[in-house]
Amino acid sequence: ADIILRGYAGWNSRRALEVLDKVFPKDAAVQPSLVIVYFGGNDSTEPDPSGLGPHVPLPEYVENMKKIAMHLKGLSENTHVMFLSTPPVNEEQILEGVGKCCRTNEGCRIYSEACLKLCQEVDIKCIDLWTAIQQRDDWKTVCFMDGIHLSSEGSKLVGEEILKALAEEPSLCWRSLPTEFDEDSVSNPVDEEGKNINISNL
Each residue's pLDDT tens digit, 32-75: 999 999 999 999 999 988 888 899 999 999 999 999 999 999 99
Phi, psi of 124 (to 5 degrees): -125, 140
Tell me, yes or no, whether 201 lies in a domain.
Answer: no
Could you tell me if residue 194 is inside a domain? no
Answer yes or no: is 26 within a domain: yes
Mean pLDDT score, 122-142 = 96
Q: What CA–CA distances, in Å, run from 201 to 173, 179, 197, 198?
A: 20, 17, 7, 6
Check residue 53 and give left, alpha or beta (phi > 0: left; psi -120 to 50: alpha): left
- Output the pLDDT for position 192: 76
190 falls within a domain: no
- Residue 23's pLDDT is 95
At 120, is the pLDDT very low, low, confident or very high (cuts 50, 70, 90)? very high
Boundaries of domain holding 110: 13-176
Give domain status of residue 7, yes or no: no
| 159-195 tens-digit pLDDT | 999 999 998 888 887 777 777 776 666 667 777 777 7
The domain spanning residue 135 has which CATH number?
Answer: 3.40.50.1110
> Domain for residue 199, yes or no?
no
Task: Quote the number of domains for the chain.
Answer: 1
Whether 111 maps to a domain, the answer reads yes
Asked if residue 184 is part of any domain, the answer here is no
